[in-house]
A and B are shown apart, each in its own frame.
Chain A
Amino acid sequence: MNTILVVGDSYTYGQGCKDRIYYYDNEKKSHIGSYFSYPLYPASQYCWASLLQKQLPNYNVVNIASPGNSQFGIFKDTVDYVSTHNDIALVLFNATFFNRVSIASCGNPDIINPWSPTWFDNETELNTAQPKYYVDAKQGYIKYLMSDEILQYQSIMATLAAHSVVTSKNIKFLWCTPETIPNRSVFEYESYKPLMTINHLRYTHVCRYDFSKNLDFELNFNKYHFIDNHVNELGHSMFFEEELLPTVMRTLNIQ
């Protein structure tokens, strides 16, 4: 029982740290950096999960977070790993934005791909070569079939489902969600109240961490976030020291 499983999206993968830079520059109209994604490339060596591995050498920290991951994708990652490994002590479930959905991959429906309707506003999506029918299907979904409320409940469901999968194997479970803002409870949002039942297992999501300690959003962004809004290595380091490590040590009863 010495594996700590870390699941999540780009924030958990460490996109925005200096070894994992990839963003679209609106002025230059081009991508900067190289596209990294798990499992082709491991997570950043500067992300909090990598720092956790260095701090706890007796544990095997497995970070399978992947940029762009959806809530159902993170749930599936959890199920796939937990159902095939027996040595897990703790799962750190880093939820993503509720509007990330799972859809069939273009041309290979057996593969599930994450996608966010908000990516249509993003040059990245517009510059990705996709067949017209696939883009039309996505646009039709946004215009006629999508509902924020449905997506919010799916998001809650995936988190609760992961909790059930993990704890039913007697593995400890901690979670966080980016659907918060610093200094405000996630439960001020009506639809998130059902997650109150597992609030005692929640830690702050790295992208919502108040590095300034006084809600100085300008400082938080300018110093601890990369220009694409991902958290940089300085942010990951501070988040790790102040929030993540104490929570993990307490949960695993490490002195």
Chain B
Amino acid sequence: MVKRIILLGDSFTFGHGCTDKVFYYDQNTKQYVGGKMSPEFETTTSEYCWGSLIKKQFPNIEVINLAKPGNCFLGMFRDLLYLSQRINLNSNDLVLLNGTFIDRTEIAHPIEPDSYVSWTIGITTPHEKIKDEQEYNHAKQMYAMYLHSDAVTYNQFLASFMGIHSICNLYDTKFAFSLPKNVRLMGKLVDKFFNLTFPYIFQYDFSGNNDDAFNNTCYMPDLHCNNLGHEIYLKKVVLPFLSDKGFL
């Protein structure tokens, strides 16, 4: 049985969409609903996400949820790297990598260039504080059009995945992962990882019989999973997987 579970992930693992982490743009009312996407919003994960639910159900297991909205694979690598410098990772630890979409990467922060932000390649959003916003967004568009390709992003994804795996190996830490349906590890090299994977929460069939009406009750309008989705996912996916692999 593991003593500590470390979660890496994005908004889906963070619990964006649960009642204490609601924030989305309502297309009908043309207004934002819920809290506000801010550093405060992102400081703590939802108390209703599946990571927090493990903590409640298994008080002897420490759960460190490092997931952040918008996180990319490189960010997850960095999250684990920083953690490995703060605490002594060991064989009683389990790292669960809950991946994200591979078209996310990191770029320099538009206001503080020495810092960085996660970016979904191709997306440009208004930045009121940026002096030369037009040029900044133009640079993003040009990058997306001419310097980016699927081959480049897949290679970055594979390096991030194997980088995270390497940190786990170096500290003899257990490792398992889930990836969105459209993100696949390819090639012979990754055969050994297939028994370490469990279904990803986004697009999971919560009903068990592809009942769209029921599945929709597990999502918020912005397609993040709500409390019910997290509860079912924990019960049907996470706990059976952890138990089957001897982690619980």
Say yes or no: is A161 at the interface (Cβ < 8 Å to chain B). Answer: yes
CB-nearest residue of chain B relative to A162?
B162
- Asked whether, in the complex, the Cβ of A83 is within 8 Å of the Cβ of B163, the reply is no
Say yes or no: is A38 at the interface (Cβ < 8 Å to chain B). Answer: no
- Asked whether, in the complex, the Cβ of A83 is within 8 Å of the Cβ of B151, the reply is no
Q: How far is the CA of A149 from the CA of B75 in the complex (A)?
A: 12
Say yes or no: is B74 at the interface (Cβ < 8 Å to chain A). Answer: yes
Among B163, B165, B189: residue with most chain A CB under 10 A? B163
Given A138-B147, A146-B108, A194-B81, CB of A160 within 8 Å of CB of B167? yes
Given A153-B77, A157-B77, A158-B163, CB of A112 within 8 Å of CB of B155? yes
- Asked whether, in the complex, the Cβ of A164 is within 8 Å of the Cβ of B108, the reply is no
Say yes or no: is B158 at the interface (Cβ < 8 Å to chain A). Answer: yes
Say yes or no: is B145 at the interface (Cβ < 8 Å to chain A). Answer: yes
- Asked whether, in the complex, the Cβ of A141 is within 8 Å of the Cβ of B143, the reply is yes
Q: Label chain A's interface by main secondary structure.
A: helix
Interface residues in B145-189 (C-beta closer than 8 Å to A): 145-152, 155-156, 158-163, 165-167, 169-171, 187-189
The distance from the CB of A114 to the nearest CB of chain B, in whole angstroms, is 11
Q: What are the interface flags for A55-98 relative to B under an 8 Å C-beta threshold, 1 for contact and 0 otherwise?
A: 00000000000000000100110010011100000000000000
- Asked whether, in the complex, the Cβ of A144 is within 8 Å of the Cβ of B85, the reply is no
Partner of B150, one of A84, A102, A109, A160: A109
- Asked whether, in the complex, the Cβ of A145 is within 8 Å of the Cβ of B107, the reply is yes
Interface range on chain B (Cβ under 8 Å from partner)? 35 or more
CB-nearest residue of chain B relative to A140?
B139
- Asked whether, in the complex, the Cβ of A141 is within 8 Å of the Cβ of B84, the reply is no
Q: Which residues of A contact B152 (CB under 8 A)?
A: 72, 102-104, 112
- Asked whether, in the complex, the Cβ of A164 is within 8 Å of the Cβ of B166, the reply is yes
Q: Which residues of A contact B188 (CB under 8 A)?
A: 83-84
Q: Label chain B's interface by main secondary structure.
A: helix
- Asked whether, in the complex, the Cβ of A161 is within 8 Å of the Cβ of B160, the reply is yes
Q: Which residues of A contact B187 (CB under 8 A)?
A: 79, 83
Say yes or no: is B78 at the interface (Cβ < 8 Å to chain A). Answer: yes
Given A145-B139, A147-B107, CB of A158 within 8 Å of CB of B145? no
- Asked whether, in the complex, the Cβ of A144 is within 8 Å of the Cβ of B110, the reply is yes
Q: How far is the CA of A176 from the CA of B138 in the complex (A)?
A: 38
Say yes or no: is B25 at the interface (Cβ < 8 Å to chain A). Answer: no
Interface residue stretch chosen among A3-11, A13-21, A129-137 = A129-137
Q: What are the interface flags for A144-188 relative to B under an 8 Å C-beta threshold, 1 for contact and 0 otherwise?
A: 111101100110111011111101110000000000000000000
The distance from the CB of A165 to the nearest CB of chain B, in whole angstroms, is 5
The distance from the CB of B88 to the nearest CB of chain A, in whole angstroms, is 12
Q: Which residues of A contact B138 (CB under 8 A)?
A: 140
Given A153-B77, A193-B85, CB of A111 within 8 Å of CB of B151? yes
- Asked whether, in the complex, the Cβ of B170 is within 8 Å of the Cβ of A197, the reply is yes
CB-nearest residue of chain B relative to A80?
B187
Q: Which residues of A contact B85 (CB under 8 A)?
A: 193-194
Given A109-B150, A138-B147, A144-B136, CB of A72 within 8 Å of CB of B142? no
CB-nearest residue of chain B relative to A163?
B166
Q: How far is the CA of A103 from the CA of B145 in the complex (A)?
A: 11
Say yes or no: is B211 at the interface (Cβ < 8 Å to chain A). Answer: no
Q: Which residues of A contact B74 (CB under 8 A)?
A: 150, 153-154, 157
CB-nearest residue of chain A relative to B73?
A157
- Asked whether, in the complex, the Cβ of A76 is within 8 Å of the Cβ of B107, the reply is no
Q: Which residues of A contact B139 (CB under 8 A)?
A: 137, 140-141, 143-145
Q: What are the interface flags for B56-95 relative to A under an 8 Å C-beta threshold, 1 for contact and 0 otherwise?
A: 0000000000000000001001100100110000000000
Q: How far is the CA of A144 from the CA of B112 in the complex (A)?
A: 11
Say yes or no: is A227 at the interface (Cβ < 8 Å to chain B). Answer: no
Say yes or no: is A198 at the interface (Cβ < 8 Å to chain B). Answer: yes
Partner of A161, one of B115, B135, B158, B170: B158
- Asked whether, in the complex, the Cβ of A79 is within 8 Å of the Cβ of B189, the reply is yes
CB-nearest residue of chain A relative to B142?
A137
A/B interface sample: 8 pairs, CB < 8 A: A75-B158, A83-B188, A110-B149, A136-B142, A144-B107, A144-B140, A160-B162, A168-B169
B→A interface (CB under 8 Å) = 74, 77-78, 81, 84-85, 106-110, 113-116, 135-136, 138-140, 142-143, 145-152, 155-156, 158-163, 165-167, 169-171, 187-189, 192
